[in-house]
């Protein structure tokens, strides 16, 4: 490798010499190019002159025959400038063709002027404006090559001469320029040795202006350096003081300050190490830091090969103290490197976090306990409904993805309300706990248990087909039937009904699975309870239709699609509107569905209570207080103990205060008229509400209702009113109902009145009020057109 000269003198000479070499070289090259171009141009000019002379001469000689032409051209070919001559007549026949051996063109000529080189020059042979033929001269390369060689030699001599003269001149120039710097160099040498004598720093009197300026600048720099050295000494003293303060601070740190070299050996520790671990510092230095660690994975962190990869923050390590006990520390690490960016070790702080971790563990346990409480039923300890819904969705998705069956069982306790009412809620709680324990014993099937509602449980079984699930269901049913609850007097056995569905046979979504299991449970209950059942496809479709309608009703209630319609009740004699019946309608698309199409479904699926309360509350909000309202209540709603209180709260709400309200009672199955049931209606009457018995003459136990409830109004079923004009049996039934109503002091209301003649007959029979399409069809409560002037 080329090494530059060590002295400034030689470096300047080398730089100028190179510059001169480039300048002289370019100048010489320029002259050479010009000369070569001129020679090539002269060659072409000579060729054109020769052909301009020879072409007329040959044209004259062609009339004397080919011999004269040949002799002339052979003499002409003796010239060194020509390498060959070709002459042809007008027919293309060769009159003369001869070539001499010619050397190839010099490479310099081909490189410098390739566009000017034309080795062939042609001209027509003409005489008296008549074309006789064509003559072509081949130019020889020999004269041009010789000229180029001669120019190259001359140019080399010239280049060397100019270069030598320039180098001598440069040497003299540089020496004269550098000579004044010698005393300055000696001055710098003395200063570097610490000699600050003023006489040594004096300048020569005959120094040039530039050297004088440079010397003055050097002297000022030397003085500044002397001052900075004094300041450096003062700074060194301050650093010593700061070092003492820093050492004091390190010794009083609460955190351990640790230094480890690249081999993992401890090289520094502050006194906090002894306070934290009990190990003496002098006994700890020189040992691998990993010897103080307990866990193997923590030891691996501090091995030499892993030290450069330590995380900078929050590395938690378990350290052994002097007595062998565990201490947890948090390490904050700074990697150390030398000037060559080579790893030399680490500096770290160790913070005692033993108590903090203990508190975090306790907090984690509390959080786990809180999470357990949020996903489990507090009474039975099994999963609650919300968490079960999440598990069902996840397990169903996984089972379908793996093409495996999943079984959902719903277990319902038969007669649980009777158990609570008869033996008390503590016994009911023991029943639920015992059922949960029994169901959890079946979790080995790969499933989970949850409590869905008061007396309803669910069980998920993984990878269990329909036959296996049926067998498991009967085993579970058998286990549940063996549960015995000890009572103060006697024992209580449990009866349950189980419905189950298997995915993907009964459905592929959680909603389909729950619906299918509910349908199976519904069918099992209707078939006598205390059994296990699932659905075949044919039987399931029929019952699923009921549940589909039930879901439609439930969704309609949630979405506010159940709305009250108003139909007037009219005094038949005066034709004045005395009240309005609130009729329930469900919106489906752009139309409203009448109550008969969905009320039975709502009753079967336990939705009627929520619907009744919703419709009554909606009507109370929308209808003016001066309007007497007849609102429908299903007697089956009172099976739920909380319904009576909910109804009373609604009737005592501000929208219901100071207004006339009559409860219309309807029933599609028998209801026991207990003393408690009768007392409830007496309390409702005390809240300024009347009672009307709806659809009298059809259904169940209507006469016992009449005797026990003693309603203020009796509504005659419309089936007896529609054919009253032609059917005498209906006339007698209506007359009998009017007589019964008068006995208990009730007023009668006829339904389904459609013409004036029916009104006349009803008045003659003693019917007080009527309603039907003749007066008005039911109108949505949101449309104010239903409100007549009689009640405004």
Model confidence pLDDT, tens digit, residues 207-224: 667 667 777 777 777 778
Of 510, 405, 514, nearest in space to 452 by CA: 514
Q: In the prediction, which pLDDT does 671 show?
A: 58
CA 453 to each of CA 50, 370, 377, 379, 408: distance values in angstroms, whole numbers, following the listed order: 126, 21, 10, 12, 15
Q: What is the pLDDT of residue 46?
A: 82
The answer on pLDDT for 789 being more than 50 is no
pLDDT for position 541: 56
Q: Are strands 689-696 and 661-666 parallel, antiparallel or unpaired?
A: parallel
For residues 299-308, average pLDDT: 89
Average pLDDT rounded to a whole number, residues 745-769: 94
The pTM of the full predicted model, rounded to 2 decimals, is 0.40
Mean pLDDT of the chain: 82
Q: For 265-282, what is each residue's pLDDT tens digit?
A: 999 999 999 988 989 999
Q: Residue 700 pLDDT > 60, yes or no?
A: no
pLDDT at position 791 over 70: no
* Whether residue 118 has pLDDT greater than 80: no
Residue 542 pLDDT more than 60? Answer: no
pLDDT-derived band at 792, boundaries 50, 70, 90: very low
SS3 content of the chain, % helix, strand, coil (to 5): 50, 20, 25
Is pLDDT above 90 for 761? yes
pLDDT at 179: 63
The count of residues in the chain is 792
Residue of 544, 518, 519, 520 whose CA lies nearest to 532:
520
Residue 58's Cβ-count burial label (10 Å; 0-12, 13-18, 19+) is buried
Look at residue 551 and tell me whether its pLDDT is greater than 80. Answer: no
Q: What is the average per-residue pLDDT within 297-319?
A: 89
Q: What is the dihedral of CA 671, 675, 676, 682, to 10 degrees?
A: 100
Residue predicted with more confidence, 114 or 137: 137
Name the pLDDT band for 738 (thresholds 50, 70, 90).
Answer: very high
> What distance in Å separates the CA atoms of residue 524 and residue 522, rounded to the nearest whole number?
5
Q: Give the percent of the chain with pLDDT over 90.
A: 24
Tell me what pLDDT residue 756 has: 93
pLDDT in tens, 612-650: 888 888 888 888 888 999 998 887 777 666 777 888 888
The pLDDT value given to residue 367: 74
More confident residue, 193 or 368: 368
Q: CB atoms < 10 A from the CB of 275, how many?
A: 11
Over residues 13-62, the pLDDT tens digits come to 777 777 777 777 777 777 777 777 787 788 788 888 888 888 888 888 87
Q: Nearest Cα to 83, choosing from 99, 103, 106?
A: 99
Would the pLDDT of 339 be above 80? yes
């Amino acid at each position: 490798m080329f090494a530059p000269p060590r002295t400034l003198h030689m470096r300047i000479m080398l730089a100028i010499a190179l510059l001169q070499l480039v300048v002289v070289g370019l100048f010489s090259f320029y002259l050479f190019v010009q000369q070569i171009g001129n020679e090539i141009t002269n060659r072409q000019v000579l060729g054109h002159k020769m052909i301009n002379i020879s072409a007329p001469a040959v044209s004259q000689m062609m009339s004397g025959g080919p011999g004269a032409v040949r002799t002339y051209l052979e003499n002409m070919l003796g010239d060194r400038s020509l390498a060959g001559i070709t002459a042809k007549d007008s027919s293309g026949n060769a009159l003369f063709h001869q070539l001499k051996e010619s050397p190839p063109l010099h490479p310099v000529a081909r490189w410098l002027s390739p566009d000017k080189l034309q080795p062939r020059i042609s001209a027509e042979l003409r005489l008296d404006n008549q074309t006789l033929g064509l003559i072509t001269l081949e130019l020889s390369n020999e004269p041009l090559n010789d000229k180029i060689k001669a120019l190259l030699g001359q140019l080399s001599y010239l280049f060397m001469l100019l270069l030598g003269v320039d180098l001598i001149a440069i040497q003299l120039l540089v020496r004269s320029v550098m000579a004044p710097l010698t005393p300055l160099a000696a001055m710098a040498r003395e200063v570097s040795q610490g000699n600050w004598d003023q006489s040594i720093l004096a300048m020569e009197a005959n120094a040039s202006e530039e050297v004088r300026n440079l010397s003055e600048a050097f002297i000022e720099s030397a003085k500044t350096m002397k001052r900075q050295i004094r300041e450096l000494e003062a700074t060194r003293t301050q650093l010593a003081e700061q070092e003492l303060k820093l050492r004091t601070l390190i010794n009083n740190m609460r955190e351990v300050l640790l230094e480890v070299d690249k081999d993992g050996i401890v090289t520094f520790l502050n006194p906090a190490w002894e306070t934290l671990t009990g190990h003496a510092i002098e006994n700890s230095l020189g040992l691998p830091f990993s010897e103080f660690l307990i866990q193997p994975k923590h030891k691996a962190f501090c091995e030499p090969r892993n030290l450069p990869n330590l995380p900078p923050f929050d590395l938690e390590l378990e350290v052994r103290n002097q007595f062998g006990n565990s201490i947890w520390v948090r390490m904050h690490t700074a990697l150390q490197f030398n000037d060559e960016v080579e790893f030399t070790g680490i500096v770290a702080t160790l913070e005692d976090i033993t108590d903090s971790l203990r508190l975090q563990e306790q907090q984690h346990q509390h959080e786990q306990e809180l999470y357990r409480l949020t996903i489990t039923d507090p009474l039975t300890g099994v999963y609650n409904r919300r968490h079960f819904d999440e598990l069902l969705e996840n397990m169903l998705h996984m089972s379908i993805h793996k093409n495996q069956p999943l079984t959902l069982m719903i277990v319902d306790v038969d007669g649980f309300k009777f158990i609570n009412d008869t033996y008390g809620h503590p016994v009911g709680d023991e029943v639920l706990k015992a059922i949960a324990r029994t169901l959890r014993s079946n979790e080995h099937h790969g499933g989970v248990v949850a409590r869905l509602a008061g007396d309803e449980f669910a069980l998920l079984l993984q990878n269990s087909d329909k036959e296996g699930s049926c067998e498991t269901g009967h085993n579970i049913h058998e286990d549940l039937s063996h549960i015995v609850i000890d009572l103060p007097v006697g024992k209580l056995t449990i009866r349950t009904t189980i419905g189950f569905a298997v995915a993907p046979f009964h459905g592929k979504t959680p909603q389909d699975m729950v619906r299918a299991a509910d349908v199976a449970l519904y069918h099992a209950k209707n078939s006598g309870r205390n059994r296990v059942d699932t659905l075949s496809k044919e039987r399931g479709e029929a019952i699923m239709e009921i549940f589909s309608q039930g879901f439609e009703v439930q969704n309609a209630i949630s979405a506010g699609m159940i709305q009250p319609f108003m139909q007037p009740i009219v005094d038949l004699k005066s034709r004045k509107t005395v009240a309005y019946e609130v009729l329930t309608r469900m919106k489906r698309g752009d139309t409203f569905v009448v109550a008969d199409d969905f009320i039975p479904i709502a009753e079967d699926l336990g939705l009627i209570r929520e619907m009744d309360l919703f419709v009554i509350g909606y009507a109370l909000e929308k209808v003016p207080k001066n309007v007497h309202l007849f609102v429908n209540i299903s007697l089956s709603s009172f099976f739920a103990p909380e319904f009576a209180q909910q109804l009373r709260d609604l009737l005592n709400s501000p929208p219901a205060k100071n207004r006339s309200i009559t409860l219309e009672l309807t029933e599609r199955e028998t209801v026991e008229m207990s003393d408690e049931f009768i007392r409830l209606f007496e309390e409702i009457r005390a809240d300024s509400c009347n009672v009307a018995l709806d659809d009298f003459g059809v259904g169940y136990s209507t006469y016992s209702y009449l005797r026990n409830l003693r309603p203020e109004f009796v509504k005659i079923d419309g089936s007896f009113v529609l054919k009253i004009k032609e059917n005498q049996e209906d006339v007698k039934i209506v007359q009998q109902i009017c007589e019964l109503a008068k006995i208990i002091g009730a007023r009668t209301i006829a339904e389904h009145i459609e013409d004036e003649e029916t009104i006349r007959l009803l008045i003659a029979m003693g019917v007080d009020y009527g309603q039907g399409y003749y007066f008005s069809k039911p109108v949505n409560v949101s449309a104010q057109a239903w409100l007549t002037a009689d009640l405004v």
